[in-house]
Chains A and B, each alone.
Chain A
Amino acid sequence: MFGQANVLAQGQAEFPPSVGDFYLPSILPWGAENSYWFTKITAMVWIAVGILIIFFLATYRKPQLVPTKKQWFAESIYGFVRNNIAVDMIGHAGVRFAPYFTTLFCFILLTNFFAIVPFFQISPNSHIAFPAILAVISYVMFIWVGIRHHGFVKYVKASLVPPAPWYILPLLVPIEFFSTFLVRPFSLAVRLFANMFAGHMLLLVFTLGGFAMLSANVWLAPVSVLSWVMTIALTFLEFLVICLQAYVFTVLTASYVQGALADEH
């Protein structure tokens, strides 16, 4: 918010915000356009990775049978994903996927959370590259798991051919193919991306809108204040969305893996 306020004070940001606001200039080389190796976004990804690695390594350096507070906290994150997502969705076989799901969940949650952390204030997941990577990993993973579990032919048959009368199969098989093998990665990636994109956009609109109204007419100041109050309210909403989307992404991945492992259609 402050960054934007400063920018606006200098007359550099325009209202309404546009897609260009999501593409911040590069940090190294400083200020370069169209250089994406080291931007605020990639820096945040590295910071998220660093925080998670340090947190988990520090809390789990010397695990004890009777956990300390920190160890308990780290364990309960893992235990949540393990028991409430992996085991709930997949069953006992889900335990071996729990480490990946937990990593996925933590990564999405933290990178999403940057959207409402002061001075970060944008989620890397509002750039489709990161949700896309995660979605592709999930996609490859559930297909790989399915083929490993059933064998290629049987897996393809199990996932494409529903138990239905033969004359309806010409209709169902393309639908199944479309929904399982084409739509899934896109829906996963776009759901996360769009939520974070829209969340950032909403916050921008209400924050910058307040400034825009204030600079347009001093008498609109109360409306500006209302706009900023809305920003705060929307930040809470954004927090809900952050947690929800991290959960949904993980649950859907688990659900796809479960579908690939399932014996019946």
Chain B
Amino acid sequence: MPIIVYRFLVLGITALAVLAPIALVVYQSFLTAPFFDRAARLSLSAYSFVFAEEDFWQALWTTAAIAGGMAAIAVPLGALLAFLMVRTDVPGRQYLEPLILIPIFVSAVVIAFGYVVAVGPVGIFSTLAKDVLGFVPWNLYSLFSLIAIAGLTHVPHVYLYSAAALRGLGTDLEEAARVSGANPLQVALNVSLPMIGPAILFAGVLVFFLGFELFGLPLVLGDPQDVLVLSTYLFKLTNKLGVPSYQLMAVAVVVIIAITAPLVFMQRLLLRQAQRYVSVRGKGLKTQALRLGPWRWVAFGTIVFWLFITVVVPLTGITLRSFVVSWGQGVNLLDVLTFDHYRELLDYPNVVRGIVNTLGIGVIGGAVSVACYTAIALAVHRWNSGWTRLVDYLVMVPRAMPGLVAGLALLWVFLFVAFLSPLRSTMVSIWLAYSIVWLAYGMRLVSGTLLQVGPELEEAARVSGAGDLRVKRDVTVPLIKYGMLASWLLVFLIFVREYSTGIYLLGPGTEVIGSLLVSLWGTGAIDLVSALSVVNVMMIGVGLAVAVRLGVRLHG
């Protein structure tokens, strides 16, 4: 096969997989009934219905407030954290690094369940506080708490980009500032952080964007107070007319995409700019840790406190709940200890299947996805053509679609594309949905590895008479083997954590822990939810431990 055929073949398949679901959603939004209903007609009525809804505007406003609030919290904290971790002598940095990234890899629904049990109105920590103070000083279900939790759990995203940018810069300017008498905080605010401004801005846009995708936290924490965001509004629409109203849901999705798509492309621009900015780096970076003196313990304490709030509190809550029959005001936890919930997991065949499927999608599905991402990356690798830019954009498109929606769109595709329909109630449908939703992420991992391969070896092979495809197979792929392995591990973590994409695809045979958690939470089977959450966290813990042990960098 000539390489050009391979390239266009891959391009075609990617385009189809990415664009078909979106096209279906957009088409559905202009109909009066589900697209498979014979009574469906073209109309704008769904738009006028949604735009006339008070709830919609409320949800839109709340979403914007949450996204903005999140960015306002996560950006300064994440940037400061990066400064402390990369530039100063905060104690125990090598141990803190993997811990800091935990919030990225733990499912948001698990974190949210944990908060309800730990610091809800009668949570474990709340009752403690009430005993000591006489009142509970926080209200978990307020919009403010939701923003604070969302912000704190997204600090690592900002940290990752800021730390990477800082590592790319020498410390000479900072040392100069220090010598001239600036204190560490002044160095951070006036020298280091401004230098990585573009990276911080990029991370800010990313967090703002993630705010529009937020689903697990508002689903659980917004429920009692009826705090609606766009993604939970979508859920509410299901029932508004009594019968499922796909056209209304499609409109909500189109609105979400209309907001997120520009953000995604803005990120792209910023990323390019950030890289250009960092390119002033010199060779032979000399880095000198900034001495904080006694303040290093204050910094250490602050980081530990943040970890306590965002990781320890929710995970303790959910773990504790999984071992007790009931909890709350007036309950002595020692009286209600039990292992039953874990035993009960085995009574539910769908839960057992869910656990097996989750491992399967992580290990096997992850490997196949990495193979596909590599195939796409190889197709555009060393291709001097305008088409590569198209692929770049194509890969970003699914990013604009929240997982929940991508899952729904794929359900439709699987239902009505004849040759796909036998695969609908198999894990193939889940795998395809996951692979598409995480396309941009996976591509970044794989292309990052490919960038490290110099052209010399490939050229040598070509000179010795190997064809283009043979070069890729026998030279390029073996060279990026370890990078692919690392990508596999990271994709495993993401797939095991994923919860929203599988919700609409959930059925017998396609259970995964994430979507089961949401579904079981809906039915109120909290015993199972807590035990299953702990199982999920343990899987991720093992994956993380392996990654740290193998020295995999936990980011692309």
Q: Do A and B come from one complex?
A: no
Spell out B's residues near A (CB within 8 Å): none
